[in-house]
Amino acid sequence: MTSPEPFGARLRRAMDERGPLCVGIDPHASLLADWGLSDDIAGLERFTYTVVEALADRVAVLKPQSAFFERFGSRGVAVLERAVADSRAAGALVLMDAKRGDIGSTMAAYAATYLDPASPLFSDAVTVSPYLGYGSLRPALDLARESGTGVFVLALTSNPEGAEVQHAVRADGSSVAATMLDHLRAENADAAPMGSYGAVVGATLSDSLSAAGADLAINGPLLAPGIGAQGATAADLPRVFGAAVRDVVPNVSRGVLRHGPDTAALRESAARFAAEVREAVAG
């Protein structure tokens, strides 16, 4: 049996062909209202399928935020299942933003939910939280390797509360965040053109990176929230990420989604962000 192509290789190709951009699918109540939609299943469906139709055939990555679907119960999860399948069928890589983290068989079940090809929610990658210890993520890391999928580990998040955990210093003098990045670097050793194990690092955190002693050269993707509505711009990326900037996957949500429900406007906004990032990375 032929092994599936690793996520890192598929992501690199998608970024080269479609532009280095990840667009979130975040159907929170205020955004539904901005679109003139009701905060119910009908509004959720209209919002989600409009975004997928507009962008899945042209952006590298779509990132649905699972919580905004789960709040509608089983019918919301059904919408998410269809969005994942339709996005992948149109050529976008799907990064499920679930931020799961647990131990043992429970972590294995979370991993199977998003990274097992037999699952209705099978995605190309998933976000996970390592704060029960990096080793607790092993079921997801191993299944990702087996299924050709990816894992993005929370390392240096853009929320201000994150520093109290992520900047904490361990007995060996390294920060928790730096330790997570070290683990990911080991997972990605010898991978080409890029490893499948990524980190979440906020694009607004230039000062915090040095404070945490963070080496971002992990030979894997760096999911960078914060572009657009949170204040960071594409032009900031080389300064924040340095030599690792080519591996950055900037995440834009509200900056693109606020242009809906007009399909052409959504496409134009996504294309503009992707072009700005490509130009910034190229120097």
Q: What are phi and psi of 91, to 5 degrees?
A: 105, -5
Q: What is the 3-state secondary structure (H, E, C) of 139-195?
A: HHHHHHHHHCCEEEEEEECCCHHHHHHHCCECCCCCEHHHHHHHHHHHHCCCCCCCC
CA distance 43 to 282: 39
- Give the containing element (helix H, strand E) for 9: helix 7-18
Is the bond into 225 cis (omega within 30 degrees of 0)?
no
Rg of the chain over Cα atoms, rounded to whole angstroms, equals 18
Contact (CB, 8 A) for 63 and 25: yes
Q: Which of the following is catalytic: 99, 138, 254, 258?
A: 99
Centre a 10 Å sphere on the Cβ of residue 211 and count the other Cβ atoms it contains. Answer: 14
CA distance 222 to 117: 24
Beta strand 248-252 with 222-225 is: parallel
Catalytic site includes residue 99: yes
CA nearest 156: which of 132, 135, 130, 189? 130
CA distance 64 to 88: 12
CA distance 80 to 192: 32
Residues contacting 98, CB < 8 A, separation 6+? 66, 110, 114, 126, 127, 128
Active-site amino acid positions: 99
